[in-house]
């Protein structure tokens, strides 16, 4: 897959006055230290999924919105459940283990993701950390 970062914020709510958000975004990118999630902020990222590649199961400490722009994609959950999404569909990931798989034999899939940092997720008294 390939991805590009469209925009980030480093605070919530974002400060737009005097272009503070733009300066923070440019400063963050200049550090070359942005991970999948921006602690205390958001990341808007465009991701292109190649056809036929195996899915990579992962979890981020974030609330994610994934929107299919072109093609189709399978969202695979750690339960083994799979959901097929097509152009215009939206998936919400809430700190869950999941993977993305492009089922098409020749066409790429493009999605946009907005990841918002969140508090630590606990299930049954167990803290669910990032799993990359």
**What CATH number is associated with residue 87?**
2.60.120.10
Compare 56 and 30 and report the one with higher pLDDT.
Answer: 30
Query: Is 124 part of any domain?
Result: no
State the pLDDT confidence band at 73, using cuts at 50, 70 and 90.
very high
- The answer to whether the beta carbons of residues 68 and 86 sit under 8 Å apart is yes
Q: Is the pLDDT of residue 104 over 90?
A: yes
Residue 13 lies in a domain: yes
Asked, for residue 70, whether it belongs to a domain, the answer is yes
Task: Please state the domain count of the chain.
Answer: 1
- Domain membership of residue 38 as a residue range: 2-119
**In a domain? residue 35:** yes
Asked if residue 130 belongs to a domain, the reply is no
CA-to-CA separations, 65 to 48, 76, 107, in angstroms, rounded? 16, 15, 23
Confidence of residue 18 (pLDDT cuts 50, 70, 90): very high
Report percent pLDDT > 70 for the chain.
Answer: 100
Residue 92 lies in a domain: yes
* Average pLDDT taken over every residue of the chain: 94
In a domain, 129, yes or no: no
Q: What is the pLDDT of residue 130?
A: 78
């Amino acid at each position: 897959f390939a991805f590009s970062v469209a925009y980030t914020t480093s605070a919530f709510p974002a400060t737009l006055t005097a272009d503070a958000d733009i300066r923070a975004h440019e400063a963050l990118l200049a550090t070359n230290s942005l991970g999948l999630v921006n602690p205390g902020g958001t990341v808007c990222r465009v991701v292109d999924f190649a056809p036929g590649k195996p899915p990579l199961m992962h979890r981020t400490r974030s609330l994610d919105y994934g929107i299919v722009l072109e093609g189709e994609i399978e969202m695979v959950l750690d339960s083994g459940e799979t959901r097929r999404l097509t152009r215009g569909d939206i998936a919400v990931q809430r700190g869950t283990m999941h993977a993305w798989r492009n089922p098409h034999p020749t066409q790429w899939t493009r999605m946009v993701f907005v990841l918002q940092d969140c508090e630590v997720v606990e299930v049954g008294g167990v803290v669910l950390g990032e799993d990359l």
